[in-house]
A = this chain, B = another copy of it.
Amino acid sequence: MTSDFVDVITTGLDALSPYKSDLRIETDDMSTLMVGAPGPLFDAIRDLFSAAAKRPEHVTMHVTLSRGCPGEPDDPNCRCDTLARAQDQSLAERQTLAAHAVKDAPDMGVGIDVQFSLYVMGAGGHMDEIYGCIDFLKDSGTFLRSKNFCTRLRGDAGAVFETLRQAFLRFGPAEGHVTIDLTASANSPSLG
């Protein structure tokens, strides 16, 4: 939200440099595609937005995350131990692991707001998983409030993006198609 927007976008994309060996990264005129495992992927998204949010301007970022999409040829590059192990862990175990991961998240030194929706495609009957995920979110320390069709988080960028990674990986069917649609915001003048 500045006439100097090209410089802000460049600042953000520069923060992706350490991840170029782990992720396939392609930028076009509308967005940047990143393909890889959830470890470097969420770290890269967090670092990109933190770099932009540390500047004074009001900035927002929109992200669509997808795992387990049928027919995608990149699956072998996206393997993730957390997801593989989730199949043998109870809901309570996964909630505890998720909460610890958020507590251990690095302090990025920049406060952000996020709103997001998590979608579980395919066979229904996963309401226990959804409610279990919501319980985790409410106790995560980053939960702000529920809104129509989405959840608001607020906190340091480290804790907020770790909360998103845990919600994305530890809940819902391990082999299913799960997506997250999120908007991040920082330095909004509406917050006074």
Contacts and interface: CB of A to CB of B under 8 A. Distances in A.
Interface of A: 1-6, 28-31, 33, 35, 58, 62, 64, 66, 69, 72, 113, 115, 117, 119-124, 147-150, 152, 179, 181, 183, 185, 188-191
Contact of A29 (B35, B121, B188): B188
Contact of A120 (B31, B33, B121, B191): B121
A91 to B, nearest CB: 20
A102 to B, nearest CB: 21
A2 B4 CA distance: 7
The 4 closest A-B pairs by CB, nearest first: A29-B190, A1-B5, A181-B181, A62-B62
A178 B119 CA distance: 10
Main secondary structure of the interface of A (DSSP, over half): mixed
Contacts of A121: 119-121, 124
Contacts of A190: 28-29
A150 to B, nearest CB: 7
B64 A150 contact: yes
15 contacts: A1-B1, A1-B5, A2-B2, A5-B58, A28-B190, A29-B185, A30-B185, A33-B148, A62-B183, A64-B117, A64-B150, A69-B149, A72-B149, A117-B179, A121-B121
A166 to B, nearest CB: 21
A113 B183 contact: no
A183 B30 contact: yes
